Chains A and B, each alone.
Chain A
């Protein structure tokens, strides 16, 4: 019916809980499609981390820790890098989100973007540390900083999109009413 949200439609209600994880997997696949519009100058954003952060904050029942692990594993698989680096980074970011949920949820406007930047910094820092130990040398910091900036910029339209999905398709937790 017009104006009726997906989570209120009886036949389609079961799809709502699958959306956050599905969007994270789709985002990972899109980000790892090896097409660069900048000739490889700018790195691809971590589209998989954005739903993990967003729904890990708002609906941890729909984005549990194992979902963050699987999304990270998908990122490892499609990116071509050493296995496990992004899986452990996404889980580390989820731990940060879980510990700071009250602080991060209270952020509004630009603060929301800064919250994501903090979670992204945890993920990137973990990946940096793992890569340094993995190859036993320090990788350059400049590509990581550029990747952080690219991801923060892309989070702005992604946040708008995820808000729409949350309002119209996913909805709040039933027991919160």
Chain B
């Protein structure tokens, strides 16, 4: 089992040149990937759509084996776990009653305050058919895609909290980028105190909390929920708890992406805002209660009549001939005056009585 037992071949082709060319091509590919990160998305979606039947076939036996192996260890702790579960059940029932009462009170307060209702959330239930755990990437593959109305950017949650977001959809499959992935950055809110932060994944099990505000004091145990900033994710989704790892504040996630098999993809159905049409009442003048100014009457301009400027002799004759006096103008005063060169009166003109 040694490389030295085999005869070593020397590369007789132009190795340095081809090596340099390949190195340059690889660097160009990295730069291209930086500019266009979605370079391979269509091919990946196609590959996951084609592999989906095989993945689904393998999912069930793997899930059964995983459950069987997990149950082996539980056999030795059955009695102790049973007692713990009974105690937890009793405590949770008390919290359930309190939660129901608080929910009713909250509804009454919302009605009293005419609060804006939360946006409607649609959801699609999907099965996890694949997981990819790499040093620089943490993703999952779901068996729901565009045909099931799944869109990129939607939140993925399990029964405990948020797991990640959809970043690539095929026809029948979707890729989920987990909250722990290096590419994941979501806006969150830390309660109590409504501290705004960014949850940034770094391929560790606990993503980093990046807080931009100054003078903010966090405490271990504070709850982290999605803030809903940017209307990308629904607000209020449970994410995890704050803890201090010695150098930074991090989020201990509620969701377990390694064991979640059934997840929900949430569709934040916020309609696109439509700009209202502008009416006359929207003008600042009318909005201030002022009447708009009436426009001034149009000025009537009389064209200057010049004989030398006549186009033809007939025009010149017309221009030089006195205007035919009207009935109203047939007065001694008017007859004594030489008639001025006036254009013939309009039919609707009423002569002035002098």
Contacts and interface: CB of A to CB of B under 8 A. Distances in A.
Does B associate with A? yes
Interface of A: 32-37, 39-44, 54, 57-61, 64-66, 68-69, 72-73, 76-85, 87-88, 90-92, 94-95, 98, 101-102, 104-109, 111-112, 115, 124, 127-128, 130-131, 134-135, 137, 139-140, 142-144, 146-147, 159-160, 163, 166, 172-173, 176
B325 interface: no
B15 A112 contact: no
A101 B3 CA distance: 11
B34 to A, nearest CB: 6
Given A40-B258, A73-B29, A85 B136 contact: yes
Contacts, number: 204
Given A40-B257, A82-B34, A143-B134, 12 more contacts: A35-B131, A57-B3, A58-B6, A65-B15, A65-B21, A83-B30, A91-B23, A107-B4, A111-B2, A137-B202, A160-B1, A172-B6
A37 B2 CA distance: 30
Identify the interface centre among B23, B29, B32, B141: most chain A CB within 10 Å of its CB: B29
Contacts of B4: 105-108, 112
Given A34-B141, A37-B62, A131-B182, A61 B131 contact: no
Interface string B5-44: 1111111110100110111011101111110110110011
A81 B19 contact: no
Identify the interface centre among B3, B18, B175: most chain A CB within 10 Å of its CB: B3
A87 B257 CA distance: 28
A74 B257 CA distance: 26
Give the top 6 A-B pairs by smallest Cβ distance, nearest first. A34-B130, A83-B33, A84-B30, A108-B2, A84-B29, A60-B11
Contacts of B259: 39
B157 to A, nearest CB: 18
A176 B7 CA distance: 8
A61 B7 CA distance: 13
A36 B66 CA distance: 11
B258 A80 contact: no
A166 B148 CA distance: 48
B29 A105 contact: no
Contacts of A139: 135-136, 182, 202-203
Given A37-B62, A77-B44, A43 B135 contact: yes
Contacts of A44: 132-134
B18 A65 contact: yes
B135 A124 contact: yes
Contacts of A111: 2
Interface string B204-225: 1000000000000000000000
Contact of A83 (B40, B66, B140, B257): B40
A144 to B, nearest CB: 5
